[in-house]
Structure formats: C-alpha cells, structure tokens
Amino acid sequence: MSLQDAKVAKGVVAGPANQRAGGRMAEFKLALKVEYLKPGEMVKVDISATPVLIGNVDGEFFAVSNICPHSVRPMLEHKSSMHNNQVKCPHHGSIFDVATGSLVKGLATESLETYEVRVMGDDVFVKVGS
C-alpha cells in the first residue's frame, strides 16, 4: 500500500472532530497538538484507556496500537524518532510500518491495529474503539 493509499484508508484529512458515520456520531478524542510531533517523530498516548502510538510521517499523522501483537507489551514508552517510518518492538524486535500498521519483519504474525486520525487546526484527534 502506498503512503497516499494509507492516508486515504486512515482518513487523514482536515475536518470536524465528530462526523456522522453510518447514522451515528463517530467520536474522535483530542490526542495532541500538531506542533508537539515533528516529522519523523512518534509518541505514545493513552486515548480512552487505549495505548496508542502516533507518528508524524512527512507531515501526516497516523495512529496505531502501541501494543505489540506478539509480545502483548508496549512498544514505546516515550517520544522517539522513527527510522524509515517504522517502530521496533523492544521485546522481540518485530518491526511495523507506522503509516499502515503492517508487519515489516520479526516474530509477530499480525499487523498493528490502526486508528482513524483527523487534524483540525492545530489539534490531532484519534478515534479508538467502534
């Protein structure tokens, strides 16, 4: 999947924090300020008790689970730089693409769960849950 396809699939667009989806309100939660995360950086945030990793890939924001599907442990504890837009699980070394959640290599057999992102003004919102 190309980065542009990932952007479309992830819904990375400017727009209202709440949008009608299937006749009900899809709820987005404020995650961080745009200025907090420079391109090439990622950070762990908790949104509605869900551990989320947010990455800034060339000025676009993406959100994936911060829990490795192999080790079932957090991958990131603090703000960090990305290498090739990827995050590496410190427990067993599985590597995931931050934009798509796809497994690049390692012991994991599943990709990371991805979350919808909306940027509205200076704020980054993430939708977790269904």
pLDDT greater than 60 at residue 15: no
The pLDDT of residue 129: 79
pLDDT, average across residues 25-49: 92
- Do 70 and 109 form a contact (C-beta atoms < 8 A)? yes
Predicted model pTM: 0.79
pLDDT greater than 50 at residue 24: no
**Residue 69: phi, psi to the nearest 5?**
-70, -15
- Do 67 and 73 form a contact (C-beta atoms < 8 A)? yes
Task: Return the half-sphere exposure (C-beta side, CA atoms, 13 A cut-off) of residue 31.
Answer: 35
Range of the domain at 106: 3-127
Give 40-95 pLDDT, tens digit per residue: 999 999 998 999 999 999 999 999 999 999 999 999 998 999 999 999 999 999 99
CATH of residue 15's domain is 2.102.10.10
**Contacting residues for 30 by C-beta, under 8 A, at least 6 apart:** 17, 123, 124, 125
Domains identified in the chain, total number: 1
